[in-house]
Each structure stands twice: as C-alpha cells, then as structure tokens.
Amino acid sequence: MQGEHDTLTTGEAKLTRTGKANFLGHPKGLFYLAFAEAWERFSYYGMTALVVLYMVNQLLLPGHVEHIGGFSGFRAALESVVGPLSTQALASQIFGLYSGFVYFTPLLGGMIADRWIGQRNAVVIGALSMSGGHIAMAFDQSFLLALLLLVIGSGFLKGNISAQVGALYPPEDEARRTRGFIIFSTGINIGAVIGPLLCGLLAQVYGWHYGFGIAAIFMLLGLATYLYGYRYLPARVERLKFEGTRLTAAEP
C-alpha cells in the first residue's frame, strides 16, 4: 500500500484502509464472514447428507408422500420427461435437480446484487430464505417449498458472501487477500465436516426432523453472526480503478 491511508469506495459504503491490521493481521469483517459461512456450510452439508435417505426411507413412502404439497403434479411432470421412476430413482432425480439449481442460481443472485441490492442485502435475503427452507424441511407438507427456499437462498448467498471477502482488501494487497481466503475456506471445510456428522447423529438417534432442525438452528446462527458483523462489511462490491493512492469504484 502507498501512503498510510487508502480509501475504497464500495457503492453505498466507504471503507478506510489503514496501515494497521484490525484483528490478527486481517480486517475484522473477515472473521464474521468466515464464521457465518462455516455455519451455513454446516447446515447445507448436514441437510444434503440426510435428504436422499430421508426421501427413500420415509418421505416418499405411502402414508407420507400423499401429504407433500404439490407433489403429485411435480412427479407427473418429472415422469413425463424421464419416464416412470422407482422411489430410489425419484429421490435421486429430485436431489439432482436441487443440486443443479443450487449451483446455477448464484449467477442470478450475483447479478441482482451487483445491479440493484448490493452484496450485504443479498446475503441477508439468502440466509433468511435458507433458514426458512431448513425449517420447512421438518414438515412433510412443505418439502417442495423447502427445496425452493433453499435454492433461492443459495443463489443470493453463495457468490455474494465470497465476493465480500475479496473486497475487504485493497487490490494491491494480494498476499493478505490470499491468506484471508485461506481462513475463509477453512471455515467452509470445518462446517462441511461437522455438519453431516452432527445432523446424521441426531437423525439416527431422535429422528429425521431433529437432523433437519439442527441444520436450521445453525443456519440462523450463521445469519446472526453475519448481522452482528454487518458494519464491518462492504455494502457493495464494485470494479475498482486506481487514482493515485485513492481506490474508487469504476464506472460501468
């Protein structure tokens, strides 16, 4: 960095960089983002570890499948494309569709955040939607609604929370940014390891809905962590250009 102070303009917010690190050599916002993402990954991987087994062993069996809102029409539409499906095949198709949309929707969520609502608002909307999805997963009737909320939430949250990590550092501070992403990725991996273990244990001991319930609790914890550190995060991540020692958002 040149000079003692550089200012980064990020849409609605201005972040002042100083020569002094905020916490352990990194901006404080990094640790709120890392913990929030760890809880979100806990809930995501915890839920995905259960959902196919849940469908095959309970939800799609007689006595349960009749209660799923809108499922008869959904199944008819799906089987009109791929043909008749067994319970196992149907569960696999549903999970495949869900996974595909989870990885596609962040493109739309990122575009909406960039053009209209900003990354912070997008992450909050995504976390709220995913929390609602995990809660809805605990009830047979709202299963399809739960998947829809999780897909929408993932679209708003995933790419936008990662973009905020990079925006915490000036463009020329590549070394610290790289270390920051390592810390952020560590949070992801911790959540991804612990989530399936704890959710699976609760589902086995107490029942499926307890496994989904703990995923909802940790998603809400991730949202609370993010909101608590809200003031340390960039409101909007823009393309950047240099003007001497001042960094400003580039014109679109």
Per-residue pLDDT tens for 24-79?
889 999 999 999 999 999 999 999 999 999 999 999 999 999 999 999 999 999 99
Give the pLDDT of residue 238. 63
223: pLDDT confidence band, cut at 50, 70 and 90?
very high
CA 217/CA 190 separation, integer angstroms: 17
CA 82/CA 113 separation, integer angstroms: 35
CA 42/CA 46 separation, integer angstroms: 6
Q: How far is CA 168 from the centre of its chain?
A: 19
* Span 196-225, average pLDDT: 96
- First-to-last C-alpha distance (Å) of the chain: 25
pLDDT tens track for 145-176: 999 999 999 999 998 999 999 999 998 999 99
237: pLDDT confidence band, cut at 50, 70 and 90?
confident
Report the 10 Å Cβ neighbour count for 87. 14
Q: Is the dihedral of CA 36, 220, 213, 77 positive or negative?
A: negative
Q: Apex CA 98: angle with CA 203 and CA 106, to 5°?
A: 115
CA 125/CA 116 separation, integer angstroms: 13
DSSP code string of 144-169: HHHHHHHHHHHHHHHHHHHHHHHHTS
For 8, the enclosing helix (H) or strand (E) is strand 5-10
Two tokens, residue 56: 């095959």
Two tokens, residue 233: 């995060």
CATH of domain 29-249: 1.20.1250.20
CA 191/CA 10 separation, integer angstroms: 29
Q: How far is CA 135 from the centre of its chain?
A: 15
Helix (H, G, I), strand (E, B) or coil at 12: coil
Domain ranges of the chain: 29-249
CA 69/CA 54 separation, integer angstroms: 17
pLDDT tens track for 6-28: 444 443 334 434 334 477 889 99
**H-assigned helices in the chain:** 28-54, 71-82, 87-112, 119-136, 143-167, 174-206, 208-228
Please give the single-letter amino acid code of residue 112: I
Q: Which position has the token pair 């609502």?
A: 117
